[in-house]
A and B are shown apart, each in its own frame.
Chain A
Amino acid sequence: MALAEEEAKKALEEGEVPVGCVMVRGGVVIARGHNKTNERMDATRHAEMVAIDSLVEEGGDNLWAQQLLAGCTLYVTCEPCIMCASALAMLGLERAVFGCCNDKFGGNGSVMCMHESDSQLRAVGFASYQVRAGVHEQEAIELFKKFYARENSKAPVPKR
């Protein structure tokens, strides 16, 4: 989780919403990523997607959707959104561990439960995975606070 926070801090330094993650398999970090939505000018470049992209880029011959993240644990500072949580289900993730919840778009319990695939979703290739919330929650929230404090100081003073 500390490594995920390190990634999130990188995002913060780059002026991105501070979310970071690492993927671990058999005790080894196999991918890391932090939010790059501004840099890539692409609102889908969340930390999880960036990490997945790096795994795909490394290639290997195991890009089969349901195996890419088999046996992996994802550590991420903020609950994956519905998009990322769906991607994780498609890629056969074993476990997701996250810090704070994502009330607006959370796909691991806050808004939807993409990690609990029903038969309909399983039929189209979604697998289920375990989820653990609230690990280093405060640290994740602190990073968000720092980011928003910075953003607000940049914004013009609202009339009121």
Chain B
Amino acid sequence: MPPSSRAEGRAHGGLPTEQEAMERVDLRIKVEDLELMPVLCASVKPKNASKMIEILSKNLPIPELRYLKRMRKRNDAAAKSGGKAEPELVAIIAPPDIFSRQVLSHSMATLETETQDLIKQYCDSMFEEEVPSFAPNTREQFDSWSKIWPLNYRPPAGGMKVLLGFSQEEIERMKAYMRRATALAVEAVKAGDGAAAAVIVDPTSGEVQGEGVDVAMSGPLCSPEIPSGAQRNDDARKKRHPLHHAAMCAIQKVAAMQRESQLVNVTSKRKMLLQQVDSSDGSRDETVETAQKDLVNEGPYLCTGFDIYLTYEPCPMCAMALVHSRLRRKSLNHHYEVYKGLLAEEVKESITSAFSTT
């Protein structure tokens, strides 16, 4: 991914506000194309609509299809009646896993009797309809897929251009973290490392959870703006871990810190349990083992919800590592929000001058 001009948003004359200078970047692994899947639908008379919605949300919730509206107007019927009569509605009854392309009566049989009766009471005919099989990724997809079936999920508007909803206070905090990353990068350059630095922050506490610099000196891969004149020490480079890019180092720091605190947790939890067990007559080992398993089962996604500040755009390896580590993400599709351009000029100037003084 090539470095792009980082201050494009700058207006002629006058300094841009932070909001204007920082851009939201649409970065995702892949923008999938529309895929349709059949769902079991029923037509519903307008007078039964609210009752039907109630039954469906109570007896037949389909959380995995949350991005779809449960019911929609039947366009063709409305057209036929010249728009005079109130159009019939179409409701999604069951997802494909219950439905599984069987004959309708069979698939009905998989529903509970009570639900079946209710549906029979309030619905007319049953049929198969095609709906998008996953939530849209972009505004364009949202607009075009909505014509197939109305959607609930609205992807963030604006893509590259708009940055929404940060308060001045948040911006100041973000700037502070970016300055911290810049300071790290400057130090790194002076120490003979690459110019990329990363700071991982828990936004709820404001605490820095891990930091890293480009020990690999990845050059154009992950710290693209090393001035061509800068001479790096090649002997030193030979001894470096070639994958220790800034983001990878920061993630590993977070992991190391969490392993440490888990050890503390396990030890204190174990002590506590042993005391409890000693005073009762329960089976000691079993209890301790369960406690340890509980801790382990919390899983490796320990950057969940964290933010990362990087002086440079990450390479594909680092970008995917961020996805794996579940850094702040908005949807279940393993996407995360990316903003670029925060303090772009300041970062660039600091790093360039660090190079010129070493």
Contact = CB atoms under 8 A, between A and B. Distances in A.
Nearest to A91: B242
Interface residues of B, number: 42
A45 B251 CA distance: 10
Contacts, number: 111
Interface in A40-87: 40-45, 49, 52-53, 56, 59, 61-65, 68, 81-84, 86-87
Interface residues of A, number: 40
A38 interface: yes
Contact of B220 (A68, A104, A123): A123
Contacts of B238: 61-64
26 contacts: A38-B300, A40-B300, A41-B300, A42-B251, A42-B252, A42-B325, A43-B300, A43-B325, A44-B252, A53-B241, A56-B243, A61-B238, A64-B242, A65-B218, A65-B242, A82-B316, A105-B29, A105-B324, A112-B29, A112-B30, A112-B316, A123-B220, A124-B220, A124-B221, A124-B224, A125-B219
A111 interface: yes
Nearest to B242: A65
Contacts of B248: 44
Interface of B: 2, 29-30, 216, 218-221, 224, 237-243, 248, 251-252, 254-255, 258-259, 262, 296-297, 299-303, 315-318, 320-321, 323-326, 334
B316 A65 contact: no
Interface centre among A38, A56, A63, A83, by most chain B C-beta atoms within 10 angstroms, is: A83
B255 A82 contact: no
Interface in A91-128: 91, 104-105, 107, 111-112, 114, 120, 123-126
Secondary structure at the A interface, as helix, strand, loop or mixed, is loop
A44 B254 CA distance: 12
A83 B317 contact: yes
Contacts of B237: 64
